Chains A and B, each alone.
Chain A
């Protein structure tokens, strides 16, 4: 294979200018090393030329993959090595062969397809995802954000809807950030993909609790994603066509060589497909992302813009009121970085616009809300051998303009014009004593001013990691957190309300973990946690004619969650790789009338097993999921009103085949979510005879896709 490749490459060569030098003569060999399938240069690749008499010359490719070697005339054995690529060998005569050389290395077949790395990022316990694992985990349909539903501590409470309750909190208690900008909506409607193009992500860090001080205003966890800096070397492009939508990502270097711009866009034709099947339904969505990086003197500037729009119209009957949903948000931010003292100063200013339209109360009424945001942030960070210091301030100014045809006298301000001014200041210091101990104390002060009501909260943070021997470690994290009142799930333009009515949501969290690598090739981490919350809970979980504008739509409840999380991981460098995560949890709420009961999202047992296996250009993957069911209110129940849904399991499968061409890579994949077509019960109803019947769905999501990258 390699020889064939070399022959092909040599045929493409130009004649060398100084060819034909006899014995004792030398030649300069110039060339460039590229990755097959992408045109990407391979920096730091090593080129070695060996002559028959044992002479050897060696060079390292520069950042553009270029190299230059002085070699004697005559037949040489040329070998090229680069991390992650098959070694390249060929015979070559530097004086007679054509130059410059262009060598394409083939990526190694056992490269990690996806991996989950449990690391102490910034000395905080988190699960970090990066690279192909963001887009190729079975059951996610290629969405990085869906990967978190297979991680410990996460309950997908209304699968297949991507709504996640982390460690017993409500879904709206977990914050999602993209380059430290809050994302008000994660997924498109009707089981659509996430609103951020998968290839726009560089990495994603999941903090189920005890998140760093630089993030705030959420009482549970944080999902912090970072965008990928656009490549400055050349034009990169990728395009993807799936059953449901099509998208593309292009990055282009700036002409002056001082930066690059990347843009992504996606459009769904799900709506058009659905409209063919049902004329009572119209669905459309789109999203976009843009990132531009540029050096300006000693400053590094980053422009980031992203947004999405969804529209769903449903009219079951001409005589009925139609249901119309619109969700839309746009964010644009400019970030500037500059050295300051021994550290780095970061200034960021974001602007946002949100809009939501949704029917409420038996579809007869609707609420439309718009919001404008100003999102400033300033931080300074310094790293030394032993210390990592971080201080900063951030803010959120929001103006809301809701309109509704519900005549409402309740005192919730969710449906009223209001202004919210939120500010935070934080500092954290990580101390590292070699590899054995890392301690990170920190604090965060948050101020909330919403519709004329003010509140403050001082949150303390502490995390630590202690190495016990070579293969075992202990981790601990905890802190106190605060959040403005929130709905059960996040929606654009429906935040920051009800402070006077419900007060701040607060929590304290503590987690203790033990990890080991004693079994070769397997990493085991066991974490126990205890979290105590004061939350704004949905008061009526039955959601019969919900009226979100009513003052008692939400209720302030005390809550507690504790549990055990186990993660067993076989690293992606193995041919068979993946992880098994198990969560045993108890999530409780003070429900009044002397009752401490399970939360609406309580799933006692959650088990996920994700595995991948590589065979040549193929990668086969599977994910198995089991949960023991959550409590629901029995609809139309006469007496016993609350029971637990039956357990649910699913099996997801994925197969991928990669085709390498000279300048681009083509990947074809097929994925099936819930391959066993398991019935998921979502509601129980009692009839007049007292018999309880189950309402269920059999969701089966197949996906076929073709992705090209260059």
Chain B
């Protein structure tokens, strides 16, 4: 009897062990806390806070939908707390949007491309589609997260966002009204042909007035205290464009003539004085300024094969004239140097340096301004100007392959380091604070699936640290990337990658959008991926998952 009971128990145990071994593991949950369980959110954002020590506002965009009376593409925004004691909200169904009927940014094809903009009080400024026939089709609005109040600000006429924020975000220009931080509104009158610009918190703008012999122009400044000053006037229409400088931003003021806009003076926005441009430049048009704003380059095309360049140092009034044999279509001042690089179509590069003050040097290699930086910067140099980018090409069968190289800008004829291997296309180029490069190279011309190489242009070393994804952010010692990127679902594994070793830490799988808290501390500013930095991400697994939705976490 005992034997049979023992045998039965053993059999039960064996069956339990057998069935237990058939169980499937579910794996570890993502890092952090889930705020909402949902599969329809399109983007996660941190809206900058109103000041030092104040947390950013966590927002997520709902699905793309037709908004307003005209059914234009738009979306709703939802605000989420950073933590939820009650556990994640289940779906958007029970939630009211915090802000509804936002219109897509100009050129933005999806809500995920939206960039939240807040004023210095942390209030969200956005363009909204009108829901009522009494209103204009769209308008700029402002939402106060602390009170839940939405204000109508005006028509969204300022390109590209519909409004303009001052440097400190304290002042907002909407149409011809400035919304001051104290709640007052400063009208600035009808604006002239130039787009107004905020230089720090001063608004510079042109107006048109009736002169004795026709329309005349005037350049004004609206100061942070709301006072308006007329800085200069002209007997004809004037336009201006800002030229950043390491001292004060200059306004390059042009006449409006039948031939176009002819620049004739520089206006110092700090000292409020103007300097006439030298007359030797003839009819040359302004082309580009050096990064410190000292040197200005003017260009006149004299024939199909000759371009005349005129250079002017506004700080010393030095100038030089540089004939170039060829149609110069690109030119760039080397960052941090008074040195002008002009690539020509025959792969000849003319380099003029003010230090040498001699005839320009030349070397042969193909280069062009590249746009691989995450911020859309277009340049043939690294940010510090130490290295320059060039191009090499070869034909394999019917296919043209292009390799990008980086070289010492002081000695451009020296051997260069290849950034992307042959057969791969350069898709992204990130720079660390110490001048090393993280190269995203796409092996199959699929920009979201890149091989990531860590390149030191000084030593020439290049190391593959990750594959099959793209970078989200770059810190001092590590990178945040979405690897194993799946084209069908547009999701990837959110992964921290050590730049030196290539070691990987997966934070979450099936992630399709990530936002890093812009933060306010010095540590965050020094290292974008400092330990403890807050981030939000959206998960959508290929099948509905308990982990789908919005998560917040702190970087390990």
Residues of A within 8 A of B (CB): 361-362, 364-365, 405-411, 508, 510, 530, 532, 539-545, 547, 549-552, 555, 558-560, 562, 588, 590-598, 633, 635, 638-642
Nearest B residue (CB) for A547: B444
Q: Say yes or no: B467 contacts A409, CB within 8 Å.
A: yes
Residues 2-32 of chain B: 1 if any A CB is under 8 Å from the residue's CB, otherwise 0?
0000000000000000100110111101100
Contacts of A361 in B (CB 8 A): 444, 446
Contacts of B486 in A (CB 8 A): 539-540, 542
Nearest A residue (CB) for B425: A407
Contacts of B548 in A (CB 8 A): 593
Q: Say yes or no: B39 contacts A639, CB within 8 Å.
A: yes
CB of B489 within 8 Å of the partner chain: yes
Taking the closest CB of chain B, its distance from the CB of A610, in whole angstroms, is 32
In the bound complex, what is the Cα–Cα distance between A530 and B467 (angstroms)?
37
In the bound complex, what is the Cα–Cα distance between A543 and B489 (angstroms)?
10
Q: Say yes or no: A542 contacts B489, CB within 8 Å.
A: yes
Known contacts A594-B547, A595-B541: A532-B21 contact under CB 8 Å: yes
Q: Say yes or no: B488 contacts A543, CB within 8 Å.
A: yes
Contact partner of A365 (CB less than 8 A), chosen from B18, B444, B543, is B444
CB of B422 within 8 Å of the partner chain: yes
Contacts of B156 in A (CB 8 A): none
Contact partner of B467 (CB less than 8 A), chosen from A411, A555, A560, is A411
Contacts of B158 in A (CB 8 A): none
CB of B48 within 8 Å of the partner chain: no
Taking the closest CB of chain A, its distance from the CB of B54, in whole angstroms, is 33
Give the residues from 503 to 556 in chain B that come closer than 8 angstroms, CB to CB, to chain A: 509-510, 539-548
Q: Say yes or no: B25 contacts A590, CB within 8 Å.
A: yes
Contacts of B21 in A (CB 8 A): 508, 532
In the bound complex, what is the Cα–Cα distance between A555 and B25 (angstroms)?
15
30 contacts across the A-B interface (CB closer than 8 A): A361-B444, A364-B445, A405-B397, A405-B399, A407-B441, A408-B423, A409-B441, A532-B21, A540-B486, A540-B488, A552-B484, A560-B22, A590-B25, A591-B543, A592-B510, A592-B541, A593-B546, A593-B547, A593-B548, A594-B26, A594-B541, A594-B545, A595-B546, A596-B26, A633-B489, A635-B488, A638-B64, A639-B40, A639-B540, A641-B542
Contacts of A549 in B (CB 8 A): 443
Q: Say yes or no: B25 contacts A595, CB within 8 Å.
A: no
Residues 79-102 of chain B: 1 if any A CB is under 8 Å from the residue's CB, otherwise 0?
000000000000000000000000
Q: Say yes or no: A550 contacts B488, CB within 8 Å.
A: no
Q: Say yes or no: B545 contacts A410, CB within 8 Å.
A: no
Taking the closest CB of chain A, its distance from the CB of B76, in whole angstroms, is 15
Contacts of B332 in A (CB 8 A): none
Contacts of A406 in B (CB 8 A): 423, 443-444
CB of B435 within 8 Å of the partner chain: no
Residues of B within 8 A of A (CB): 18, 21-22, 24-27, 29-30, 39-40, 63-64, 396-397, 399, 401, 421-424, 441, 443-446, 449, 451, 453, 464, 467-468, 483-484, 486-489, 509-510, 539-548
Contacts of A540 in B (CB 8 A): 486-489
In addition to A408-B451, A638-B63, 10 A-B residue pairs with Cβ atoms within 8 Å of each other are A407-B423, A530-B22, A532-B21, A547-B443, A550-B467, A590-B26, A592-B509, A593-B27, A593-B545, A594-B541
Q: Say yes or no: B489 contacts A594, CB within 8 Å.
A: no
Name the residue among A361, A508, A547, A639 with the largest chain B CB count within 10 angstroms.
A639
In the bound complex, what is the Cα–Cα distance between A558 and B423 (angstroms)?
35
Q: Say yes or no: B443 contacts A409, CB within 8 Å.
A: yes
Known contacts A407-B424, A539-B484: A510-B541 contact under CB 8 Å: no
Nearest B residue (CB) for A553: B468
Contact partner of A541 (CB less than 8 A), chosen from B26, B449, B488, B539, is B488
Nearest A residue (CB) for B19: A530
Contacts of A547 in B (CB 8 A): 443-444, 446, 449
Contacts of A407 in B (CB 8 A): 401, 421-424, 441, 443
Q: Say yes or no: B541 contacts A593, CB within 8 Å.
A: yes
Q: Say yes or no: B488 contacts A558, CB within 8 Å.
A: no
Taking the closest CB of chain A, its distance from the CB of B112, in whole angstroms, is 11
Contacts of A592 in B (CB 8 A): 27, 509-510, 541
Contacts of A545 in B (CB 8 A): 444, 446, 487
Contacts of A597 in B (CB 8 A): 542-543
Taking the closest CB of chain A, its distance from the CB of B236, in whole angstroms, is 49
Q: Say yes or no: B489 contacts A588, CB within 8 Å.
A: no
Q: Say yes or no: A558 contacts B24, CB within 8 Å.
A: yes
Q: Say yes or no: A510 contacts B18, CB within 8 Å.
A: yes
In the bound complex, what is the Cα–Cα distance between A547 and B467 (angstroms)?
12
Contacts of A594 in B (CB 8 A): 26-27, 29, 541, 545-547
Contact partner of B488 (CB less than 8 A), chosen from A365, A542, A562, is A542
Q: Say yes or no: B446 contacts A532, CB within 8 Å.
A: no
Taking the closest CB of chain B, its distance from the CB of A277, in whole angstroms, is 28
Contacts of B489 in A (CB 8 A): 540, 542, 633, 641
Name the residue among A411, A551, A591 with the largest chain B CB count within 10 angstroms.
A591
In the bound complex, what is the Cα–Cα distance between A550 and B486 (angstroms)?
12
Q: Say yes or no: A593 contacts B539, CB within 8 Å.
A: yes
Contacts of B64 in A (CB 8 A): 638
Name the residue among A407, A540, A555 with the largest chain B CB count within 10 angstroms.
A407
Name the residue among A407, A555, A560, A593 with the largest chain B CB count within 10 angstroms.
A593
Q: Say yes or no: B487 contacts A542, CB within 8 Å.
A: yes
Contacts of B27 in A (CB 8 A): 590, 592-594
